[in-house]
Structure 1
Amino acid sequence: MPIDDSVPSHDRGIRRLRLPALNANARVIFALFMIHVVCSSAPLGIPALIPFIQSDLGLSLTELGGLSASLSLGVAAAGLFTGWSGDIFGIRVMAGIGLSLAGIAFFIASQSTTIPALVVLFALAGAGYSTITPATNKIVLQRVEKRLWGTAMGIKQTGASVSGFLTALLFPIIGVHFGWSTALAGAGAAIMICGITVFIVHRDPPAGDRQASRGNQRSLRRLLTNRDLVLLCVETALRVGIQFAVLTYLLLFSLDELKLSVPAGAAILAVCQIAGAVGRIFWGVVSDYCFGGRRKVVYVPLAFAASAILLLLSFCDAATPLPLLFLVAAGIGVSALGFQGLGFSLTVAVVPQENVGAASGLSMAFAFSGAVVMTPMFGYIVEHTHLFERAWQALALVAMASACIVLFVREPVAEKAPAAAE
């Protein structure tokens, strides 16, 4: 290959060193992004199917919240175990088996017509789905340069929002023409194939590295006595609870309270999802490149912004102009759904690297416990006050509380990247 003599030899050396690394980072991040796109299709597609499930099974709002919460319950119950299993047995076994289980459970659920069966199957699917975040977090730390961790976390988590956006557009159409079971069956099959692919393709680090990791994780006490990790786990429970409540009820709110058509309501949900995807990437880039890897300086204002926009949503009604509704939905997506990349980056920063899998699992257990409580609670508030307004205002208060909690987290000092010439 000819060498460009116009480029100094020193710069040519830098290019030869950097381009392969950049390509390796990009390949890993893209693969993780696609895993989240595929494997989030059922969990984040269920909100788009809620009106059809409610119509077919005759559920109340509280029962709908409970059905959605059963998925979160499975994630919460299995989250800690899956985090530890990833550190001990490796990502290939944990994620390969877990995601395959999730896909099978969603597929069987698509053929079920009773609430007890759906609750059990959604819980099993949630247990399998709980493997995705510890697995992909650990891969970022193993395979991506540290200076890109915030961006990588944001991009991979954006896969979930992109999946939610696509399912918000497609699932209502499928639901109208073929029924909600067809959409859920297709998503379950795709997740199962993804799990099998991970099991076949992924290669973990040498067993000796995992054995060393096992020796460093002798008890749960090490994590539970980490003050900053516990604060972040509680805060994440609040934020994920908000996220699931928004995704579960936004379409119903659009149809029942705002009096929108099904396509317009689905578009509102889709805008919220895609704005969340943009936010997860954007805030990670801002944190990495504008604030030198500091997370709190972005994370805290984001929670206050979510509180303000949720409060604004509580005042929307059927007379609100459609363009304003789209702007509010986008604002909620960017703030209330766009936090996860930063949140995971902050979580993994406050624990030793060998504990990242277990810490991610513990964080997920707390996070989805918040969803278990807050999703049916939202429906309960609406049913007993007959006002969506009160429920949105309650979420605004929760978002404000989450911001206040993060203020007490001690963020590690970010390491400065080496100079380009070094």
Structure 2
Amino acid sequence: METGQEIRDGEVVGKRSQNVNHFPILMVMSTAYIAVGTNVQGFKAMLPMVSADFQIGSAEAGLYTTFFFLSATILAIFSGRVVDRLGSKMGLVMGTAIIGSLMIIHSVTNIFVLLLALAFFTGIGFSIITPSINKGVMELVSPNKRAVSLGITQAGGGIGGILGALLLPFLGELFGWRNAILVSAGVALLMSGILFKFYNPGQDGTKSQQEENTSDSEESSKSDSSFKEDLAKLVTNKVLLTVCLIGLTFGFTISNITTHFPLFLDGDLGYSGFIAGASLAVFQTGGIIGKPSWGIINDRFLRSNRRLGLFILGLLVSLLMLVLAIFFDEPGIPIPVIMIFTFILGVTSLGIPGLFFTTVGDVVDKKLMGTATGLALIFIRTGVVIGPPFIGWLADITGSYQISWITLATVIFILSLSFFILSSNYKENLYGST
């Protein structure tokens, strides 16, 4: 019997058959990211309203993102380990349910410190989702199709981001941001139900959830390695740690764009909250196209050269942030120009995560994928935790976002160049499997 096949009911079934259409199950998995995008990006799109309600500045507004990802950072490795034990389905169902429930409590909070505390606990639910998605895809799809497949699932975040960024500011202006957030909370709870009902890892010839959990349990019982030993393997994996520099770049970039771009359009350029939210929707639209497209570009045109693909993306995003600082520094810029630029920014910057997590999967053992994802997320979320308050502080003390964007461009360039130089010794390890 060939590798990657099993006998089920007397028939040979390919677990990762090249002929199986995985698109339906990938779309079901993407609903978890739809829930995240609707709530997180929708709330960020309403930050001008939230800031006015609580009478806070840019630096304080940036703390919401920091607290949301602080818990996700602290729990990153442990949540990955939990996913390795429980399986991808339970991780996705639990994560989306936690987010939906806590966003309801957001709507009745009148003290900003309590809002930050809720952000912290909501981040716990989010911390489970990414390793669950990655584990599910790695077990479902053959290596040469993983970049595209992860891009498809993560495009759900773009869809949710569009829904949240367009709908929530509109509803917020009509009914207040507190009522608007109830809508996004309902979306998360709905997606949790869809995942529970329709996400069956046993379809498409893959292992069922019960088989997945049983297999993980058997592998765990047969293995003498403890969590500490598994973690030791990962932290001594120099290729993985080098790749994680791009994770830090991604976290620093996306958190600042999604947190401060609406505040920039509202405060520096004088546009309405709806236009600021619409820009995030356009940004997410670019991401929907960029995530699978960069996977295709890397697999087909760069011959799965992950190192070169990640470096190119880092350089492009750095260049775009410089363009933002130099040419978007005064009011009066036509809205279509802003939206076109935002779309291009989304295509490039949101193209990073699919390729990044695919690369992580390429350089670690499959059984450690959940924990490896958790370690990678620590780097991403370190950038997320540090970035928004710092960039917001620069905007507060300088009176505009121009210096903030220049600083962001510089940091992205330095981190991307550092990754490219340090990874030169591991070129052969940074090609995708075929």
Normalised by the size of structure 2, how large is the TM-score? 0.86
**Structure 1 gap segments, 5+ residues each:** 1-16, 418-422
Matched letter for residue 359 of structure 1? A
- Corresponding residue for residue 407 of structure 2: 394
- Corresponding residue for residue 292 of structure 1: 303
Compute the displacement of 1:22 (Å): 4.6
Q: 1:362 aligns with which of 375, 379, 383?
A: 375
- Corresponding residue for residue 136 of structure 1: 133
Q: 2:351 aligns with which of 318, 332, 338?
A: 338
- Encode CA deviations 1:263-300: one digit per residue, 9 max, x unaligned: 33333222222112211111011112223322222211
How far apart, CA to CA, are the structure 2 residues paired with 1:159 and 1:330?
Answer: 17
Measured at CA, do residues 319 and 363 of structure 1 come closer, stay the same or move farther in structure 2, by a change above 3 Å? same
Measured at CA, do residues 276 and 183 of structure 1 come closer, stay the same or move farther in structure 2, by a change above 3 Å? same
Matched letter for residue 49 of structure 2? F
Is 2:118 the partner of 1:147? no
State the number of aligned residues: 402
Q: 1:78 aligns with which of 75, 79, 86?
A: 75
Is 2:244 the partner of 1:233? yes
CA contact (8 A) 1:28 1:144 kept: no
- Corresponding residue for residue 283 of structure 2: 272
Report 1:161-200 matches (<5 A).
161-199=158-196
Q: 1:347 aligns with which of 360, 367, 370?
A: 360
Is 2:338 the partner of 1:325? yes
CA contact (8 A) 1:239 1:402 kept: no
How far apart, CA to CA, are the structure 2 residues paired with 1:413 and 1:301?
Answer: 14
- Corresponding residue for residue 209 of structure 1: 216
Q: 1:26 aligns with which of 19, 23, 47?
A: 23
How far apart, CA to CA, are the structure 2 residues paired with 1:120 and 1:110?
Answer: 13
- Corresponding residue for residue 12 of structure 1: none
Is 2:34 the partner of 1:37? yes
How far apart, CA to CA, are the structure 2 residues paired with 1:347 and 1:120?
Answer: 31
State the Cα RMSD in Å. 2.4
Normalised by the size of structure 1, how large is the TM-score? 0.89
**Structure 2 gap segments, 5+ residues each:** 1-13, 201-208
Matched letter for residue 194 of structure 1? M
Compute the displacement of 1:309 (Å): 0.6
Is 2:99 the partner of 1:102? yes
CA contact (8 A) 1:217 1:355 kept: no
CA contact (8 A) 2:93 2:193 kept: yes
Matched letter for residue 340 of structure 1? P
Compute the displacement of 1:385 (Å): 1.3
How far apart, CA to CA, are the structure 2 residues paired with 1:383 and 1:18?
Answer: 54
- Corresponding residue for residue 255 of structure 2: 244
- Corresponding residue for residue 125 of structure 1: 122
- Encode CA deviations 1:301-357: one digit per residue, 9 max, x unaligned: 111010011001012121434333223212221222221111111111111111110
Report 1:402-417 matches (<5 A).
402-407=415-420, 408-409=422-423, 410-411=426-427, 412=429, 414=431, 417=434
Report 1:297-316 matches (<5 A).
297-315=308-326, 316=328
How far apart, CA to CA, are the structure 1 residues paired with 2:311 and 2:27?
Answer: 28
Q: Secondary structure at the match of 2:351?
A: coil
Is 2:110 the partner of 1:113? yes
How far apart, CA to CA, are the structure 1 residues paired with 2:216 and 2:293?
Answer: 34
Matched letter for residue 164 of structure 2? T
- Corresponding residue for residue 90 of structure 1: 87
The percent of aligned pairs where both chains have the same amino acid is 24
Compute the displacement of 1:232 (Å): 2.4
Compute the displacement of 1:190 (Å): 2.5
Q: 2:385 aligns with which of 372, 375, 393?
A: 372
Q: 1:256 aligns with which of 267, 271, 274?
A: 267
Report 1:8-19 matches (<5 A).
none
Measured at CA, do residues 416 and 167 of structure 1 come closer, stay the same or move farther in structure 2, by a change above 3 Å? closer
Measured at CA, do residues 254 and 92 of structure 1 come closer, stay the same or move farther in structure 2, by a change above 3 Å? same
Moved more, 119-128 or 360-369: 360-369
Matched letter for residue 309 of structure 2? V
Matched letter for residue 277 of structure 1? I
CA contact (8 A) 1:292 1:416 kept: no
- Corresponding residue for residue 205 of structure 2: none
